[in-house]
Structure 1
Amino acid sequence: MLLAIILGVLTGLSLGLTGAGGGILAVPALVLGMGYSMTAATPVALLAVGAAALLGALDGLYKHIVRYRAAMFMAVTGALVTSLGVRISHALPEKVLVTLFVAIMLWIATKMLRRPAAVPHSHTPCCLNPETGRLRWTPVGTVTLAAIGAVAGLFSGMLGVGGGFLIVPALKRFSDLSMHSIVATSLMLIALISLSASAMSLAHGAVIPVSGWVFVAAAMGGMVIGRQLAPHIPSTRLQQGFSILTAVVALSMLARTYLF
């Protein structure tokens, strides 16, 4: 149980600091650290990430930095394809799922090591209205948000991740929101998508063991700690550290699957 607590806290801490890290580390923590199979780890990871992200989203709502309309809209489009992701996860062999997951992790690690070029606001699909401070709901912006939500929902159901590793870079690339607002909005979307995907996994017969519930509770504690520490750590250092950790975990999972 101590290991479940430690790994859960680290997962929630990562999610709280970056708005993107917890989901993609939850599954490796359960598989590598606690001996879960990929299929068994999925519902536990979804529930842990969803519950922890919900705490972070509530904190963001209190601070008025969550774009809740955009988050709910993306959650709806994500929910429409989450069940497809769950079906894919049950249809594909374990090695195929792990290989796909590792490929995504390494891609993310590479992207996070690079600092994205700034995008002029005039070319950003999702822009804030300077007069109201709210997002402009243009046709292009609406389609962009819908696509982000759909892709996040698909990977949530298929791989047991909250989608933050896609949401945060996508909102940075396609919106002019501040980083604080992006992280808070991402946490709300992750909570909605992950809890929805978790419910679907449970409906398909998934069972959460006692160690899984301990992991979930610990992740929520880690989120609280992460949200307190986030303002005091440079975002560049967080991205670099998370990138290196993601690559190490990905290679460890690959070695465990094919060599042991």
Structure 2
Amino acid sequence: MLLVSFLGVFIGLVMGLTGAGGGILSVPALVVGLGFSMTSAAPVALMAVGISALVGTLDGLSKKIVRYKAALLMAILGALFSHLGITLAHIIPDLFLMTLFSAIMLLVAWRMFRQARQIKNPVQPGASELKPCVLNPTTGKLHWTRRCAATLAGIGALTGLFAGMLGVGGGFIIVPAFKRYTDIDMHSIVATSLAVIALVSMSTVAGIVLHGTRISGMGWNFVGAAVAGMILGRLASPHIPSRLLQIGFSGIATLVAVIMLVKTYWPAAFS
């Protein structure tokens, strides 16, 4: 029971701090750490991620740092393109998909780590305006333009596409994409990522419940511990510099890439 609680809290904490990591880390934790089968681990992981992300979203909304319009747009596009991803998953070989995604994750992790390690330089005049989505300095809200809407729609579509093809959460695409194409601060990026994950995951969770899927007592303990970890992560997040959150994200992204490569080339490790 102690191991269940520890792993659950760890998953929730990672999600709360980085806005990602829950989905892809939950299944290995349940299978390798707790002895679940892949079939029984999937609904537990999804439930833990969905409810935890919802808790994190409510916290972000209370602090007014969730870009909820952007989250809603990305979630809608993500839901639409996830069906295309599922179709492509039956056509493209798993080996190619997993290897490509892992390589992308390692590249994203390296670039974010380098960005976080750079010495702070004064922002050059007009630099933020070069990004598709920028905040209105007067209102503090996103300045919606066709370019910004198209960029966010593209992020959502790509998130859904990879989610459908690989069954991974959207945080690993949303967080670095937001960092690159907007001038939103890291804390708001994490909160918005959790909102997208919550919207997508909870709709899937509802389907699971309606189909009568049952979760064991150990599974519910894991879910509860993940929610507790999320709460701890959201409480700690405002006190952690954005630079450290970026470094933490790059570390988790690297871990995810390694897990996916091991799962692809040495599947016996998860059996």
Q: TM-score, normalised by structure 1?
A: 0.82
Aligned to 1:247: 254
Aligned-residue identity in percent:
56
Aligned to 1:3: 3
Note the alpha carbon deviations across 1:4-26, whole angstroms, 9 max, x for none.
Answer: 32212111101111112333422
Where does the alignment leave 5 or more consecutive residues of structure 1 unmatched?
Answer: none
Where does the alignment leave 5 or more consecutive residues of structure 2 unmatched?
Answer: none
Aligned to 1:218: 225
The whole-number CA distance in structure 1 between the counterparts of 2:185 and 2:37 is 38
**Once superposed, what is the RMSD of the aligned Cα atoms?**
3.2
Shifted more, 184-193 versus 97-106: the winner is: 97-106
Note the alpha carbon deviations across 1:75-98, whole angstroms, 9 max, x for none.
Answer: 111111223334555777776665
Q: Is the 8 A contact 2:5 2:225 kept in 1?
A: yes
The whole-number CA distance in structure 2 between the counterparts of 1:42 and 1:100 is 23
Aligned to 1:77: 77
Note the alpha carbon deviations across 1:142-180, whole angstroms, 9 max, x for none.
Answer: 111111111112233333333111111111111122222
Deviation at 1:128, TM superposition (A): 2.0
Aligned to 1:181: 188
Deviation at 1:133, TM superposition (A): 2.6
Note the alpha carbon deviations across 1:201-242, whole angstroms, 9 max, x for none.
Answer: x38979453143332222111100001111223333343344
Tell me: CA distance 1:197–1:123, structure 2 relative to 1, closer, same or farther (3 Å).
farther
Q: Is the 8 A contact 2:21 2:169 kept in 1?
A: no
SS at match of 1:115: helix
Shifted more, 150-159 versus 137-146: the winner is: 150-159
Tell me: CA distance 1:104–1:217, structure 2 relative to 1, closer, same or farther (3 Å).
farther
Deviation at 1:67, TM superposition (A): 1.4
Q: Is the 8 A contact 1:68 1:188 kept in 2?
A: yes
Shifted more, 14-23 versus 137-146: the winner is: 14-23
Shifted more, 9-18 versus 155-164: the winner is: 155-164
Q: Is the 8 A contact 1:11 1:21 kept in 2?
A: yes
Q: TM-score, normalised by structure 2?
A: 0.79
The whole-number CA distance in structure 2 between the counterparts of 1:166 and 1:94 is 19
Q: Which has the larger radius of gyration?
A: 2
Shifted more, 108-117 versus 61-70: the winner is: 108-117
Shifted more, 183-192 versus 131-140: the winner is: 131-140
The whole-number CA distance in structure 2 between the counterparts of 1:88 and 1:23 is 20
User: Equivalences for 1:143-222 in 2 at 5 Å?
Assistant: 143-199=150-206, 202=208, 207=213, 209-210=215-216, 211-222=218-229
Aligned to 1:45: 45
Shifted more, 172-181 versus 204-213: the winner is: 204-213
Shifted more, 28-37 versus 188-197: the winner is: 28-37
Tell me: CA distance 1:160–1:206, structure 2 relative to 1, closer, same or farther (3 Å).
farther
SS at match of 1:126: coil
SS at match of 2:115: coil
Supply the AA of the counterpart residue of 2:156. G
Note the alpha carbon deviations across 1:16-67, whole angstroms, 9 max, x for none.
Answer: 1111233342233234323455565444333222211111111111111211
The whole-number CA distance in structure 1 between the counterparts of 2:257 and 2:219 is 21
Supply the AA of the counterpart residue of 2:25. L
Aligned to 1:123: 130
Tell me: CA distance 1:105–1:122, structure 2 relative to 1, closer, same or farther (3 Å).
closer
Q: Is the 8 A contact 2:81 2:157 kept in 1?
A: yes
Tell me: CA distance 1:32–1:98, structure 2 relative to 1, closer, same or farther (3 Å).
farther
Shifted more, 229-238 versus 161-170: the winner is: 229-238
Tell me: CA distance 1:256–1:183, structure 2 relative to 1, closer, same or farther (3 Å).
closer
User: Equivalences for 1:95-114 in 2 at 5 Å?
Assistant: 99=99, 102-114=102-114
Aligned to 1:135: 142
The whole-number CA distance in structure 2 between the counterparts of 1:25 and 1:51 is 16
